[in-house]
Chain A
Amino acid sequence: MKLTVWTYEGPPHVGAMRVATGMKGLHYVLHAPQGDTYADLLFTMIERRNHRPPVTYTTFQARDLGADTAYLFKDACRQAYERFKPEALIVGASCTAELIQDDPGGLAETMGLPVPVIALDLPSYSRKENFGTDETFYQLVRALAKPMERTARPTANIIGPTGLGFRHRDDVEELTGLLSEMGVDVNVVAPMGATPTDLTRLGAAHFNVLLYPEHAETAARYMEKELGQPFTKTVPIGVNATREFLAEVGEITGLDPKVDESRLRQPWWSKSVDSTYLTGKRVFVFGDATHVKASVRIAREEMGFEVVGLGCYNREFARDIRALGKEIGVPALISDDYLEVEKAIEDASPEMILGTQMERHIGKRLGIPCAVISAPVHVQDFPARYSPQVGFEGANVIFDTWIHPLVMGLEEHLLAMFREDFEFHDEAGPSHHGGHAPRPEEKVHTGGQPPAPRDIEEPKSDNLGSDVMVWLADAEKELKKIPFFVRGKAKRNTEKYAAEKGMTQISKDTLYEAKAHYAR
């Protein structure tokens, strides 16, 4: 047993639901107790879908336990087929049904339904959501895709996008545009938007674009082996990755990888002088492995940040992330325990977090700005506007998303210059939607009066003092003058420096000695 409050991933049958809901003409019959239908609302609310997920639940109850549940399952199968007339069915068990051992696959097979029925074996007690998507898509491909003659023009399948995917909708559109500019048509996008019949045409493409390895790597390898289709290894998130991806496509197809970059604004934005202050910003990156890998590269090469911590929650890609950590000399955290992540972030004390919904809340708690780069995400990260992560527009989107939580260069300068002015007092925080929680202990003055001088002997709301280290009055006063968004770091560094020197009191001089010591 493991005590959990927050989970980064749902159970594997939710992964299967993401494949089924992404597709059309496919129906999922899930052997599950009453209550498991909660997962429907992830799709109808978070992704704001306008139809019910194509899932029929057997919703067995306590009184059904025993031989009854197998009949319930068969009834549900028959009714689902008659009502929805899908092109194919997938059948499987949720965690509870796994325990009662009804074998949905075997039961469905004996029913003689006139469409393909694909049984899913998703071990709920050892695997999670991403395994569910990957395995479900693989089983569908294995059952439906056949070798066939290649299309006359160069074509690719885009594989990996699913229901409830972080920006999958717009990534597909952006990627389709990129490929089209190179002269590559898209054969099938799957699972998202595809029908089971479409999956039978997968073999016609010249190659596969593996957009999200979490959801389709097993299928990509299968198609490479059985259908002779190579798949792309670079996920085109970020400018350099996109260019590398296009080169890869060029190599596979023999086409010229040059595409129109006139709408790519990210490199100039990043080079412009207002971005200078971004140099060396210390960031912590956490999420699913694919987005973490892409983000680490963007952070270092395209934004000029320093990555001080990285990690992923999906163990399937632990090796990749560890290797990346080793390559850039940063410890990699493989964990699905948000408390461990919180601890790692606290220890690294970054100036910014790139993570999931969860890291955004950690950021809020620690007062560190955060941008979301990966699922799991809440409803606001399924936006109405076009906002891909992939390709050149994706690079523009990422630049804006990442820097908005930070105090802008000019603003940072002004805040530092006028910090004694009442309008720019510390508690005002950045004018952008930053990660700074309000500090209710010190009321903001109104009516144009300057704030009363603060008594530095009093315990401070932002916890300037320390239990073990005594801050002398002059040092404390000086510390107050440091802009609030770096003050915490300055305090920690100074105390660390003092502790290393065996000091128990911190004077103004200690503060500046520490500053010099840690100067970059």
Chain B
Amino acid sequence: MNKPSNIQSASCADAPVLKERGQREVFCGLTGIIWLHRKMQDAFFLVVGSRTCAHLLQSAAGVMIFAEPRFGTAILEEKDLAGMADAHQELDREVARLLSRRPDIKQLFLVGSCPSEVIKLDLQRAAERLTEEHAPHVRVLNYSGSGIETTFTQGEDACLASMVPGLPKTDARELLLVGALPDVVEDQAIGLLSDMGIGPIRVLPAARADGAPGVGDNTVYALLQPFLGDTDAELLKRGAKAIRAPFPFGEEGTTAWLKAIADEFGVDEATFDRVTAAPRARARKAISQAAEALRGKSVFFFPDSQLEIPLARFLTRECGMEAIEVGAPYIHMGLVRPDLELMPAGPTISEGQDVDLQLDRARAARPDLTVCGLGLANPLEAEGLTTKWAIELVFTPVHFYEQAGDLAGLFSRPVRRKEILAV
């Protein structure tokens, strides 16, 4: 505010953040269920909500809905609202029926929605009661994925944060990797760190309930995703120590992330180089090929997943793009500062959204590539803007060295397609 305006700020970390309120074009936190249930193989996600919630999950999950997914919606009916039926009794009955049909379920998440939050249905209490009832086979937890409280990937944050207080206590010095990543990527991360002699390494969320990591004063953790603010706070509360680093996107991001952990564990320079040299070279080569079409092009991010800042850092520094605006639904300054510091000042950093105003800005700037949700992508394409739909960046393996080329490829494909099509 009182900052002298004639001094050029060095990096985006010093840039003022444009905060906007208004109509938002984003998913709610319930959508996190779609990738979380794949990761946690003995968990079931039961949304307590309306037909809209069920319809949202169905629309967002696409064909996955037919694969007997481990999620569902307990749809509130008129009688639940009018108090004619005791909501807790109804919930107990549905849960009992569900658990008898799926005896393989070890963790049940009661996921709050807008309707359940507005009518103040106490799912916390329900979770405690149901845990007692179904102990020791099933643990029932609760978090909110409602749109009034959470945006898209925040659903994962809320879920993981709900698990932290229940994690067993340990005094061991262990490295905890936090965030749900595709198994193949997780294995790569663990492989690289193990090769440097770092261990034991645990992950949150674990694939199964009995593999849940312990946490305590000697735990050191690194976040794999920028949207895990609440989980971060819960882990700090348990005495664990955070390693802050740029997020592992691209060669540079992955190296910086690994380096921060290596330094914490006292890995010497030679070992670090020995382990990372080959995959770094591979990643640089793959990026340079995939980013051919991106060099010198401009990019505009609409808010979606909170991945925007680290991805913009990757695109500007490693793919030669110029960022016009980097919009994020929320900015956890404490988590994304290392990424912002790497990005030279220039782009508008915006938090929140007034979608019509933001569309006006995008239209005026006519970026070469617009990263946005599926509700905006086709309409913008029809206006002649090239778009990359953002949701894919959450579902596709994009972290760490071996995926760096694929990550650049996700952005360059629409640009190349635009150049190829002659109709």
Contact = CB atoms under 8 A, between A and B. Distances in A.
A1 B74 contact: yes
B356 A44 contact: no
Given A14-B55, A95-B115, A124-B52, A5 B23 contact: no
Counting chain B residues whose Cβ lies within 8 A of the other chain, the interface size class is 35 or more
A33 B28 contact: yes
B384 to A, nearest CB: 11
Contact of B30 (A35, A52, A83, A378): A35
Contacts of A50: 378-379, 381-382
A358 to B, nearest CB: 8
Q: Which of A11, A35, A37 has the largest count of B CB atoms less than 10 A from its CB?
A: A35
A126 B78 CA distance: 6
Given A2-B77, A96-B114, A7 B54 contact: yes
B58 interface: yes
A51 B147 contact: no
- Secondary structure call for the A interface: mixed
A38 B31 CA distance: 10
A43 to B, nearest CB: 8
Interface in A105-135: 123-126, 128
B382 A1 contact: no
Interface in B79-115: 80-81, 85, 87, 90-91, 93-94, 97-98, 114-115
Interface string B361-404: 00000000000011111110110000000000000000000000
Contacts of B114: 33, 35, 95-96
B80 A1 contact: yes
Given A3-B72, A11-B50, A14-B55, A45 B378 contact: yes
A60 interface: yes
A48 B378 CA distance: 7
B58 A38 contact: no
Contacts of A52: 375-376, 379
Given A34-B28, A36-B147, A58-B23, A7 B58 contact: yes
A46 B353 CA distance: 25
Interface residues of A, number: 55
A34 B24 contact: yes
Contacts of B23: 56-59, 76
A486 interface: no
B55 A11 contact: yes
Interface in A87-103: 94-96, 99-100
B38 to A, nearest CB: 15
A295 to B, nearest CB: 22
Interface string A56-91: 111111101100000000001001000100000000
Interface in B134-158: 146-149, 151
A34 B46 CA distance: 20
Given A3-B72, A35-B56, A96-B50, A361 B66 contact: yes
Contacts of A144: none
Interface string A1-33: 111111101110110000000000000000001
Q: Which of A9, A13, A33 has the most CB of B within 10 A?
A: A33
Given A11-B55, A59-B23, A99-B81, A1 B115 contact: no
B69 interface: yes
Contacts of A3: 46, 72-75, 94, 97-98
A41 interface: yes
Contact of A1 (B26, B30, B76, B148): B76
B314 interface: no
B177 interface: no
B278 interface: no
A40 interface: yes
B159 interface: no
A34 B146 CA distance: 9
B60 interface: yes
Given A34-B147, A35-B114, A125 B98 contact: no
Interface string A350-388: 000000001001001000000000000010000000000
Interface in B196-253: none
Best-surrounded residue of A3, A10, A11, A123 (most CB of chain B within 10 A): A3
A79 B359 CA distance: 15
A100 B48 CA distance: 18
B73 A4 contact: yes
Interface string B169-183: 000000000000000
B148 A33 contact: yes
B280 to A, nearest CB: 38
A99 B52 CA distance: 14
B418 interface: no
23 contacts: A2-B74, A3-B74, A3-B97, A4-B72, A4-B74, A5-B54, A33-B114, A33-B148, A34-B28, A35-B28, A35-B56, A35-B151, A37-B24, A37-B375, A96-B114, A96-B147, A96-B148, A99-B119, A124-B50, A125-B77, A125-B78, A125-B80, A364-B66
